[in-house]
Structure 1
Amino acid sequence: MIPIELKQKGYQALVKELGQVDTIRFLQEMGWGNGDYTKERQDTLKNITKAEFWHDIEQMREEKQ
């Protein structure tokens, strides 16, 4: 499922369960977050080498099987 499909299905599920008005109220309460995700992510990953990255990917693939 691509991200847009996920968002559409999620919204539809909320509307089905809460109705349109309460869905909007719920989404407003959740807000859009704050901060700079891109900068935070770059800062978090700046010391990770490509070798470490690929090693972690391989481990996740093995665990998934």
Structure 2
Amino acid sequence: MIAETKPLAEITQDAIRILFREIGVVNTVRFINQYTTGYGNYTEERRELFADETLDDLIAEIKQRRERGKSDPRQTAETE
């Protein structure tokens, strides 16, 4: 069996149509978003963000937040 070679754009359109039909628009968008590239330079941003902190500092902060979360179940990252 010889498969027809289609242009990549046509394959993409066919695949999206099939996904829409089988799993719906919302889930298709969620699926496709997994494969989109982000922006920025995470390595550089991480260095700037944590420049004055050691690994021990970060671990201690994580433990503190977990303990606060246990004592107050309403405590979330959004409320801090």
- Which of the pair is proportionally richer in helix? 1
Q: Normalising by structure 2, what TM-score?
A: 0.39
RCO greater where, 1 or 2, for CA within 8 Å and sep 6 or more? 1
Q: Normalising by structure 1, what TM-score?
A: 0.45
The structure that has the greater radius of gyration is 2
